[in-house]
Amino acid sequence: MKPVAYGELIRKYGEDILTSEGMKLEQKLIQHGNCSVYHHSVAVASMCLKIADKCHLKVRRRALVRGALLHDYFLYDWHEPLPRNHIHGFTHPYTALKNAERDFSLGKIEKNMIKRHMFPLTPIIPRYREGMILCVADKICAVQEVFLGIGQKKHRQHPLNKQYRRNVKAVKGKPETAAAMKRRRK
């Protein structure tokens, strides 16, 4: 699959999520480093598709994309010095699931993906393959964001993840053509 196709798939399966009020709020909330929760979620969805693709795993792509986009749909600033934020790592999957169930209609795979995405910090293993992929993709993206966030003030996306940048472009507007991508790289 061409890299830009991940962005197209994210938009195809997650259009309603990407344009929702909750995701607008996520654009203002920081996840790791200087990366917003919105950008983190798109990056994770993209990484999930990439892992499934590269490892030739048979997955339900719609569920994979939607679960990934909503896995951190907790909708608050976890950096605020509040008592509840001390246990954010353990509790936010449940808050995200509650919010996601309120705003969207979810299948059993998406629900389990969101609830179990902090494995192994929370010790119950995801029930479906899509959930395991999400766990891996989430950790990879988090490491990139934390590492790349050091000493940098303004980036709102993964500076090293070219595919991620293409995906955000594809999600936000028209997918880039191969010729346009080539021009941009020069």
Q: For Fe ion, which is the closer residue by CB, 138 or 176? A: 138
Q: Give the one residue of 26, 130, 138, 176 binding Fe ion; rule: CB under 5 A.
A: 138
User: Shortest approach of Fe ion to residue 79 CB, angstroms?
Assistant: 14
Q: Does the footprint of Fe ion cover residue 176 (CB under 5 A)?
A: no
* Cα–Cα distances in angstroms (integers) from residue 163 to residues 25, 46, 109, 140, in the given order: 24, 8, 26, 14
Q: Which uninterrupted H or E stretch holds 107? A: none
Contact 41, 72 (CB under 8 A): yes
Contact 93, 116 (CB under 8 A): yes
Contact 72, 99 (CB under 8 A): no
Q: For Fe ion, which is the closer residue by CB, 122 or 163? A: 122
User: Shortest approach of Fe ion to residue 68 CB, angstroms?
Assistant: 9
User: Shortest approach of Fe ion to residue 166 CB, angstroms?
Assistant: 20
Q: For Fe ion, which is the closer residue by CB, 72 or 130? A: 72
User: Shortest approach of Fe ion to residue 27 CB, angstroms?
Assistant: 15
Q: For Fe ion, which is the closer residue by CB, 110 or 176? A: 110
* Cα–Cα distances in angstroms (integers) from residue 75 to residues 54, 57, 81, 133, in the given order: 32, 31, 16, 23
Q: For Fe ion, which is the closer residue by CB, 110 or 138? A: 138
User: Shortest approach of Fe ion to residue 104 CB, angstroms?
Assistant: 17
Q: Does the footprint of Fe ion cover residue 72 (CB under 5 A)?
A: yes
Q: Which two tokens stand for residue 108?
A: 């059993």
**What mask, x for binding Fe ion by CB under 5 A, covers residues 93 to 132?**
----------------------------------------
User: Shortest approach of Fe ion to residue 185 CB, angstroms?
Assistant: 29
Q: Does the footprint of Fe ion cover residue 145 (CB under 5 A)?
A: no
Q: Which two tokens stand for residue 125?
A: 């293993």
- DSSP string covering 51-105: HHHHTT----HHHHHHHHHHTTTT-S-TTS--GGGGGHHHHHHHHHHHHHHHHS-
Interface with Fe ion (CB under 5 A): 72, 138
